[in-house]
A and B are shown apart, each in its own frame.
Chain A
Amino acid sequence: MADHHPTGLKRWLFTTNHKDIGSMYLWFSFVMFIIGGAMAMVIRAELYQPGLQFVDPNFFNSMTTMHGLIMVFGAVMPSMVGLANWLIPMQIGAPDMALPRMNNWSFWILPFAFTLLLSSLFMDGGAPNFGWTFYAPLSTTYGPPSTDFFILGVHMMGISSIMGAINVIVTVFNMRAPGMTLMKMPLFVWTWVITAFLLIMVMPVLAGAVTMMLTDRHFGTSFFDAAGGGDPVLFQHIFWFFGHPEVYIMILPAFGVASEIIPAFARKKLFGYSSMVYATASIALLSFVVWAHHMFTVGMPVAGELFFMIATMLIAVPTGVKVFNWVATMWQGSMTFETPMLFAIAFVILFTIGGFSGVMLAMAPVDFQYHDTYFVVAHFHYVLFPGAIFGTTAAVYYWLPKWTGKMYNEKLGKLHFWLSMIFVNLTFFPMHFSGLAGMPRRIPDYNMMFADFNQLASIGAFGLGLTQILFLAILIKTIWGKAEKSSDKPWDGATGLEWEQLPCPAPYHTFDTPPKVS
């Protein structure tokens, strides 16, 4: 098979190759991760001690808003799409994604969307400053002029995600190699298909919400303005109808990654494959009926609060099944702890801690005490950083030999892991305490009683930020620098078509003739 491809800028601009597009998605998300991380550094620097030291409160609000938007839509989601692009065709024995040109568009929209969003930092009135949840009327009547750019940016990234999701679904349904039945697919593919369905269900609703914002701002409608017969709480219902499934969009592919890596390094088959699939599907379904648990304080009737509380707590059951299955996979395995495995195990432990605080938050009467405090910030960072981001990191280390044909430096990889592990906990664990002590989120200054925990969190955050530069260095060294060549199967426990039937690095074109699936 000729491994021929165009070179130079044209290769990247016009490529329809899933591997090229996957790489671009991954690099793009890394750039966004660094930018969003830099904003987090601004936030943590300001919060290092009480008093207004560095930034104006309005700019602080812009930072928390942009940090959230960029991390959610720019870093986590594209990184998952990048993994999907690289892995899904190889894992189901397809030559490429089903819709290669659409694949190219869905990536190339992103740089424009985020340039637009980031440009708002330099506009009069500043960048969006109403939180990544952009509650009306703070974001409509009271939003800065740059809000319109934000709306356009969200539309563009929505279109990109929808196209990416459609591509995944069509690829998985139509392009599987003969013999690759649905229940033989690797779990990463399964979790991604379910994610893709969530995406096409909820991204359009988000698009609807920002469209309503736009017409409220400029075309005289009043969806969210009481003066014209609207209701600000309606915005929150629509937003969280999107927002809660969105949370699972960010975490489900990471579940899939853990379900690939843990069996590989335990040298033992994944425990309870089918229950994993069903658990993922039920998490996705339940995610549509729990949204108002983000809104316990808006003044719902008790019956509504009870419904959303109980539905939310139910999600703990399938999530628990997943965690128990991972533990059972490890049980009596023959484990080694290379970097991907370390990240995967840390993912399971720390994500579970995030799950515990999630159950606490689900209980409406105590949620009144936790709601909109740093306890919530701690909770969702526990599921997002050591959850989604550790998941992606584990995936990158695990498949890097497959992608590049080279082996990362194991010592540096482990160093990256341990530093991340220590700093991620140092950053986010103290936030539980400042939240319980009563510190609201999204405030630039605070009373002395919150000072100790904030200082710890800031130190942790600076360390965590620097550690990710190490990650960048490891990647550069592996890809372009001096690095050991990888064998075709560097992980002896790895299974799946990409490890069993393809060399390292995977050639530019793979599975032009469908593989045999046993």
Chain B
Amino acid sequence: MAIRRKFFAGLTALVSFVLSGAAQATAELNMRPGVTETSLEAFELHMAVIWVMTGIAVVVFGLMIYSMIFHRKSKNPTPATWSHSTTVEFIWTIIPFIILIALTIPAVKLLIKMEDASDPDMSVVVTGSQWKWHYKYMEHDIEFFSNLATPQQRENFSLEEAQNNPNYLLDVDNELVLPANKKVRFLMTADDVIHSWWVPELAVKKDAIPGFINETWTQVPTPGTYRGQCTELCGKWHGFMPVVVKVVTETEFDDWVAQKKEEKIAAEKAAAEAAAQSWEMDKLMELGKTVYDAKCAACHMQNGAGVPPTFPALKGSAMAIEADQINAHIDIVVNGKAGTAMAAFGNQLTDAEIAAVVTYERNAWGNDTGEKVQPADIQAFKAGN
């Protein structure tokens, strides 16, 4: 039966193409070797297993195919009668055992190396939250959030966008900047649910677990930008919280640290100035809308209707219209709400931005309270009242 034979020939071709073809290491077909020592070793181990598995596949499937061709009824009308052989069974128990031990030895060595985060040159605390990352450099007093560069709203994600943007879904507003050739330890934790921080080219993947810290490390020899994603299902926008690591030379890193410090001073000054003024409604509403669309609309929707009960509506919500709830409103924006996706924005936004967004929420979509919240109010709230 020609068709059958063709099929099995095709199947063999497919299997060998896949298992060994992957070995030809075209970028799309295979794991990326990555750039760190551990990622390269993981890649080598991956290739070694693929080859071993291919070898076993060739033998086992080869025997099956041979048997299917030559031991069919038309070729072999009388079947053999044997059905047992202790020797053979012993051999094919022992051989896989030996192969597995041979694979285990390099795996054990690499694992021990990958888990050794001791004696780092610097440490970064990585905190996952729905749906962004926060990085805090322990030695440099620098911390910032890293959001998807495109605001998390459905209409921003289309085929066209994907075709035009090579880093579609893999681009953030603030990358994690690291110096090359330094051993960097990551301390992972999470704010709400479990997330997982993964950069394929560094071969670093570690879960960020709320309440606990985990550690892992990397040492990147070559400057460059390395992209990854969250790999633990963390809710609605799980697919939209990329990880971007920008590795720079040591001097560039020092410059970046200095620049971040200047930016911080400038931002504090700007915030103080903003707090000193009394803002007009138009200005608050304008800034408020920008902030809202970028930070709040992913859950509460652009029209303020939310997706109840998970993401409550702000439109017509008591908290956003009743005058005596204004402090509660500021509180939830500044401190977040436990057990929900409502994050604390107190240190993600400036006082002016918080004032603007609260004002916007109290006046948009027919909430028309006419109330203004000033940056100074936020400053006072944060200082404790």
Contacts and interface: CB of A to CB of B under 8 A. Distances in A.
Contacts of A212: none
Contacts of A297: 196, 205-207
B369 interface: no
B71 A368 contact: no
Interface in B193-226: 193-194, 196, 198, 200, 203-207, 209-212, 214-215
B356 interface: no
Tell which of B38, B161, B194, B200 has the most Cβ of chain A within 10 Å. B194
Interface string B50-91: 100100110011011001100111001111111111001100
A352 B31 contact: no
A443 B85 CA distance: 49
Contacts of A334: 71-73, 76-79
Interface string B359-384: 00000000000000000000000000
Interface residues of A, number: 103
Contacts of A332: 67, 71, 76, 79-80, 82
B112 interface: yes
A141 B161 CA distance: 35
Given A124-B308, A309-B111, A364-B111, A299 B206 contact: yes
Contacts of A353: 15, 57
Interface string A440-480: 11111111110111000000000000000000000000000
B278 interface: no
A268 B276 CA distance: 92
B125 to A, nearest CB: 15
A70 B45 CA distance: 36
Contacts of B238: 57, 61, 442-443
Q: Is the interface of B mostly helix, strand, loop or mixed?
A: mixed
Contacts of B214: 298-299
A310 B61 CA distance: 26
Contacts of A56: 154, 236
A232 B194 contact: yes
Interface string B27-61: 11111100000110110011001100100110011
A305 B169 contact: no
Interface string A409-453: 000000000100000010001001100111011111111110111
Given A297-B206, A352-B60, A444-B239, 4 more contacts: A226-B210, A332-B71, A441-B233, A446-B239
Interface of A: 49-53, 56-58, 61, 124-126, 129-131, 135, 137-138, 141-142, 144-145, 225-227, 231-233, 266-273, 275, 297-299, 302, 305-306, 309-310, 313-314, 316-317, 320-321, 323-325, 327-337, 345, 348-349, 352-353, 356, 359-360, 363-366, 368-369, 371-373, 418, 425, 429, 432-433, 436-438, 440-449, 451-453
Interface of B: 4, 7, 11, 14-15, 18-19, 22, 27-32, 38-39, 41-42, 45-46, 49-50, 53, 56-57, 60-61, 63-64, 67-68, 71-73, 76-85, 88-89, 92-93, 96-97, 100, 103-104, 107-108, 110-112, 114-115, 154, 157-163, 166-170, 188, 192-194, 196, 198, 200, 203-207, 209-212, 214-215, 228-240, 307-310, 338-341
25 contacts: A135-B232, A138-B234, A142-B192, A142-B235, A231-B212, A233-B209, A268-B81, A272-B83, A317-B96, A327-B63, A330-B71, A332-B76, A334-B78, A365-B38, A365-B107, A366-B46, A366-B49, A368-B203, A425-B14, A433-B22, A437-B27, A443-B239, A447-B167, A448-B163, A452-B28
